[in-house]
Amino acid sequence: MLSRFSFPFALGILFVFSIQAHAVDITWIHEDHGPGFDAEWKDFLADQGHNVENRLIFEMNDVLAEELSRSQLIIFSRDTNSGNYDDSPEEIAGWNTIQAPMIIMTPYVLRSSRWRMVDSTSISDTTGTLEAVLPNHPLFEGGVLDGSNQVDMWDETILGPEDNIDLIDVADVGNGTLIAQDPGTNLVWAAYWEQGVEYYDGSGQFAGGNRLFLSGGSDDDPLSWGGKNYTPEADQILLNAIDFMATPRPDNPGDFNQDGAIDTADFDIMVANFRTGNSHEEGDINFDFAVDLQDFVEFAGKFNGGAAAVPEPSTWVLAVLVLLGILGCRRRRR
């Protein structure tokens, strides 16, 4: 699978790694099943300038949940046994009430028999390739995707023939946002749940903080449980994920230029990035990683326009529909 990417592409990845993101204080939760099984993950993150604190946690309580809620970012390692994290309804709720953002690298705790994040109890192996459902998502910055919006995530040469990466055996992430899937099976590679959302209808569990599932780490339990088995491109996606999850959301959604007002200047930003933008700075007011019609609709309810009269929302919707028509005509003429 690695042969699909050219040498110039590999050089591009090295260039991307040279662009240092801001340092993040990471709380790394694992069980240390073997001698340094997941140590290479932490070494890699430390080499990128992040601060990694090891935590071995087997029992959740209110005091510990409150402490972990003060973390800048939590990464829940594949080097964990999910059966140690669901001993009671109180323990399940405790993990889910943690307010800190969390990246979860194992699909096992996602199951409806564990933290109830997805409505499935089955696990499957990956084919090794990720296909972006949202190719403009911040996870894929730096040109990591090929022309088919795919990237090889698993380097099967690192840990031996028994190694693989596990995916949750479901294609539906409920009330979350599907970011990436396995193109061969449509199973979930990456998904995101906004703070406060019920994971899926009927789950009964809610995200205490923003949650990102990004599968990674060896499933070879006896020999390399949770070991690092990412390609360089997958490494970059993980770094992007850390930056994305550790970046606080703006206090005033819609004030894209951060001048203290939601006005025509912000509207112009949305227009300029319509159908191409993926961040709040580019006009994504509802944080669904795309600048689209829904952003204009929500913007209408926040617009103050300075001294100008405030249009009715229906007027805004009509204006956006006209804009859609104009953009469509321009594309057809090309």
> Tens digit of pLDDT for each residue in 175-187?
999 999 999 899 9
Cβ-proximal residues to 311 (8 Å cutoff; 6+ apart), any chain: 300, 303, 305, 319
Average pLDDT across the chain, whole number: 85
One DSSP character per residue, 33-90 reads -STTTTHHHHHHHHHTT-EEEEEE-----HHHHHHHTT-SEEEE-SSS-GGGS-SSHH
DSSP state of 225: T
Short-list 47, 49, 4, CA closest to 24:
49
- Beta-bridged to residue 131, according to DSSP, are 150, 181
pTM of the model: 0.80
Q: H or E element: which one contains 316?
A: helix 313-333
Burial 18-36 (b: 16+ CB within 10 A, else e): eeebeebebbbbbbbbbee
pLDDT tens, 246-304? 987 777 788 888 888 888 888 889 899 888 887 788 888 877 778 888 888 888 877 76
Classify strands 177-181 and 211-214 as parallel, antiparallel or unpaired: unpaired
Q: Mean pLDDT throughout 304-308?
A: 51
- Asked if the model's pLDDT at residue 321 lies above 70, the reply is no
Q: Which residues contact 154 (CB under 8 A, 6 or more apart)?
A: 1, 126, 128, 164, 165, 229, 230, 231, 234
Structural domains of the chain, ranges and CATH numbers in brackets: 2-246 (3.40.50.880), 264-333 (no CATH)
What is the per-residue pLDDT for 15? 40
Q: What is the pLDDT of residue 21?
A: 55
* pLDDT (tens digit per residue) in 158-168: 888 788 999 99
Segment 107-137, tens digit of pLDDT: 999 999 999 999 999 999 988 999 999 998 9
Cα separations in angstroms, 297 against 204, 220, 242, 291: 30, 48, 30, 11
